[in-house]
Chains A and B, each alone.
Chain A
Amino acid sequence: MRSYIAKRLLHTALISWGVMTTAFILMRIGPNSPADKYLAGLGAGHNVTQVVAAIESRYGVDKPLYEQYFSYITSLLQGDWGWSFGTSMPVMELIKTHWIYSFQLILLSTIFAVVLGIALGIFAAVRKNTAADHAVAFFSFAGISIPNFWLGIMLILIFSVKLGWFKTYYDTSLPMFSLENLHALVLPVFTLGTGMVAGYSRYVRSAMLDNLGKDFVRTARAKGLPESIVIRKHVFRNAMLPVITIIMLDMGSIVFGGAYITEVIFGIPGLGWMSLKAVFADDYAVVLAVTLIGAIITLLFNLLADIAYMYLDPRIRYE
């Protein structure tokens, strides 16, 4: 077990290094220099060549590519993620102020999606092939197919613009869990959560149906257990195994997937919102850091999903 985890962590480090290197090369062969954006904001009367040279030496981009690469890795290993010239802050500081908003959005959306998705999945499974089951199936197909950025805009159109029920402005000067901000998060959570609800309800339904046909369920029924206990203790618990894995994998990929675009639409200052701003500002250090963090999060959640599976199902052992 321990050697398995060690091996997986090594794999994680290797893949993260691959992602970082690819992103690094991609950004450096791009035609933009960090001086461009700075010059655009600079008034007349400066010696442009001098300014460019100063900026390029400040960020080290005047050195050969391999030298830049090695100095980036060296400082990364020392815990220095570089300097964001778009905001004049260390990159780590910037990430520290923004990650919490992504976390809040993803946490609330996941809770919403897990509760509703599991409920709908069980509901559909125990009423297999009835109108209710078909309705859930239709909803999940629609939920999976609806582009979440469009769903967000439609929610704003209906509930903010036309009905005026929800404001869509997240106020960072108020506490994160203040009523105002929770109110502002209703539509984003719905935007991000709908696709997840749709996915989870399908998985739960099929996992429930798989287990309903198993011998141990027939035995449980044959020994006279009430149907509610059969469903709850025998079917549901076993059905949750693959579902937990899927939820974990989802959480790993959502930060720069669904949450990214949701943050942009609703102006929530999380990592997605921040990284898009960084891309448009040619703020390489931030983009590089965010890409690397995104990769690490994905990999760690993959690992966590496997460990959770192994922990919950004693039949499974990894070498």
Chain B
Amino acid sequence: MKLAAYYWERIKRQRPAMFGLGFIIFLIILATLGTYFTKSPTKVNFDEKNLPPPGYTVEHSMYSAQNESFITTLQEGTWEHPLGTDSMGRDMLAQLVSGARVSLLVGLLATGIAIIIGAVIGVTSAYFGGAMDDILMRTTDVMMTFPFLLLLILIVYLFGASLTLIILAIGLTGWTGTARLVRSETLSLRTREFIMASKALGAGDLRIIFRHLLPNTLSSIIVLATLSIPGAILAEAVLSFIGLGDPTVASWGNILNAGQGSLETAWWVAVEPGVMLFLTVLSFNFLGDGLREAFDPKGE
């Protein structure tokens, strides 16, 4: 616990990292409690379509059957929809909250899967060496060389666009960095005295791996995990953006996809989810960088 307090002291001194942490906490609160305070993200209301955020006014032209001509009306944003509505009258704030939930879920779960697979492969590869190392590392090479985005698109296209599958696909394809990192750290740890000592005391392979090797690579894994979360979030967003997202949930990528088509009538639909995405990625990058500085023993 003393160690955690020590690292916390060191992170606290870095303003970008604290900004990142603050925004991530805000996002978690938004994703968990936000739905209790917002409208339904899926409630369609064509009478209120393309409403701008309050303070903005947009012109809407509509075909009027009575006058047989286009009539232009001015529409002003209301506080009823603080971030406006989309082309089907759905509340943007509610959709962004739902998107925050999706993005965090994808970011944390997919990264978790990737880290676990990567750590197991990395540690096994380095600890046992020989043919095991060769096979696992060549597999890692193949995985790393695969055009990542193309592979994801292919998997999701072929096996159906559901959030579960998207999370699994990102996790199952994203472990190569962790595997390499854990392998190289384990290789340098493997010959250290404390490992030899526990071997001499008769510790089994599993005990050495889980009690000695993995805990000692933990700080690098935490940094890498933090810096991998934005990648997973962006991967889901890109998939949704090109139309391969889970159609049953409002994710930032889905909203962006819709917003791209209505740039001329409703710019906010494309702007708002992107701002959230940008701030989220920025926050995790700031935090990851801060953690790396804090864990770096040379950085005193």
Q: Does B165 contact A (CB under 8 A)?
A: no
Bin the interface of chain B by size: 35 or more
Q: With A and B bound together, what is the CA distance between A298 and B143 in angstroms?
A: 12
Q: Does A75 contact B (CB under 8 A)?
A: no
Residues of A within 8 A of B142 (CB): 15, 18-19, 22
CB-based contact A279/B154 at 8 Å: yes
Q: Does A156 contact B (CB under 8 A)?
A: yes
Q: Does A294 contact B (CB under 8 A)?
A: yes
- The 8 A CB mask of A137-151 against B (1 = contact, 0 = none) is 000011011110110
Shortest CB-to-CB span from A153 to chain B, Å, is: 5
CB-based contact B158/A145 at 8 Å: no
CB-based contact B270/A294 at 8 Å: no
Q: With A and B bound together, what is the CA distance between A126 and B184 in angstroms?
A: 34
Residues of A within 8 A of B241 (CB): 149, 261
Q: Does A31 contact B (CB under 8 A)?
A: yes
CB-based contact B256/A279 at 8 Å: no
Looking at the complex, which of B118-126, B215-223, B271-279 is the stretch in contact with chain A?
B271-279
CB-based contact B282/A142 at 8 Å: yes
Q: With A and B bound together, what is the CA distance between A294 and B148 in angstroms?
A: 10
- Assuming the contacts A22-B142, A153-B263, asked whether A145 and B278 have C-beta atoms less than 8 A apart, the reply is yes
Kindly identify which residue among A19, A162, A280, A287 contacts B146, using a CB–CB cutoff of 8 Å: A19
Closest A residue to B281 by CB, please name it. Answer: A145
- Assuming the contacts A27-B158, A260-B150, A287-B154, asked whether A295 and B278 have C-beta atoms less than 8 A apart, the reply is no
Q: Does B264 contact A (CB under 8 A)?
A: yes
Shortest CB-to-CB span from B230 to chain A, Å, is: 7
B146-161 contacts to A, CB under 8 A, are 146-151, 153-155, 157-159
Closest A residue to B283 by CB, please name it. Answer: A145
CB-based contact B147/A291 at 8 Å: yes
- Assuming the contacts A27-B158, A141-B285, asked whether A261 and B271 have C-beta atoms less than 8 A apart, the reply is no
Shortest CB-to-CB span from A86 to chain B, Å, is: 14
Residues of A within 8 A of B274 (CB): 147, 150, 153-154
- Assuming the contacts A19-B142, A150-B277, A161-B264, asked whether A261 and B149 have C-beta atoms less than 8 A apart, the reply is yes
CB-based contact A157/B282 at 8 Å: no
- The 8 A CB mask of A270-303 against B (1 = contact, 0 = none) is 0000011001100000010011001100110000
Residues of B within 8 A of A31 (CB): 158-159
- Assuming the contacts A15-B138, A15-B142, asked whether A141 and B286 have C-beta atoms less than 8 A apart, the reply is yes
Q: Does B145 contact A (CB under 8 A)?
A: yes
CB-based contact A145/B285 at 8 Å: yes
Residues of B within 8 A of A157 (CB): 263, 267, 270-271
Q: With A and B bound together, what is the CA distance between A31 and B157 in angstroms?
A: 10
CB-based contact A279/B282 at 8 Å: no
- Assuming the contacts A145-B282, A147-B274, A291-B150, asked whether A153 and B256 have C-beta atoms less than 8 A apart, the reply is yes
Closest B residue to A138 by CB, please name it. Answer: B16
Q: With A and B bound together, what is the CA distance between A265 and B242 in angstroms?
A: 9
Kindly identify which residue among B147, B153, B159, B278 contacts A298, using a CB–CB cutoff of 8 Å: B147
CB-based contact B157/A279 at 8 Å: yes
Residues of B within 8 A of A141 (CB): 16, 282, 285-286
Closest A residue to B234 by CB, please name it. Answer: A147
CB-based contact A15/B158 at 8 Å: no
- Assuming the contacts A147-B278, A256-B149, A295-B147, asked whether A161 and B154 have C-beta atoms less than 8 A apart, the reply is no
Shortest CB-to-CB span from A124 to chain B, Å, is: 16
CB-based contact A30/B159 at 8 Å: yes
Q: Does A60 contact B (CB under 8 A)?
A: no
Residues of A within 8 A of B277 (CB): 147, 150
CB-based contact A147/B150 at 8 Å: no
B237-291 contacts to A, CB under 8 A, are 237-238, 241-242, 256, 259-260, 263-264, 267, 270-271, 274, 277-278, 281-282, 285-286
Kindly identify which residue among A18, A27, A260, A299 contacts B149, using a CB–CB cutoff of 8 Å: A260
CB-based contact B16/A26 at 8 Å: no
CB-based contact A256/B145 at 8 Å: no
Q: With A and B bound together, what is the CA distance between A260 and B182 in angstroms?
A: 31
Closest A residue to B155 by CB, please name it. Answer: A26
Q: With A and B bound together, what is the CA distance between A34 and B48 in angstroms?
A: 43
Closest B residue to A287 by CB, please name it. Answer: B154
CB<8 Å pairs between A and B, sample of 7: A19-B146, A23-B154, A145-B285, A150-B256, A276-B153, A279-B153, A295-B147
Chain B residues near A (Cβ < 8 Å)? 16, 138-139, 141-142, 145-151, 153-155, 157-159, 230, 234, 237-238, 241-242, 256, 259-260, 263-264, 267, 270-271, 274, 277-278, 281-282, 285-286
Chain A to chain B: the 3 pairs with minimum beta-carbon distance, closest first = A30-B158, A150-B274, A256-B147
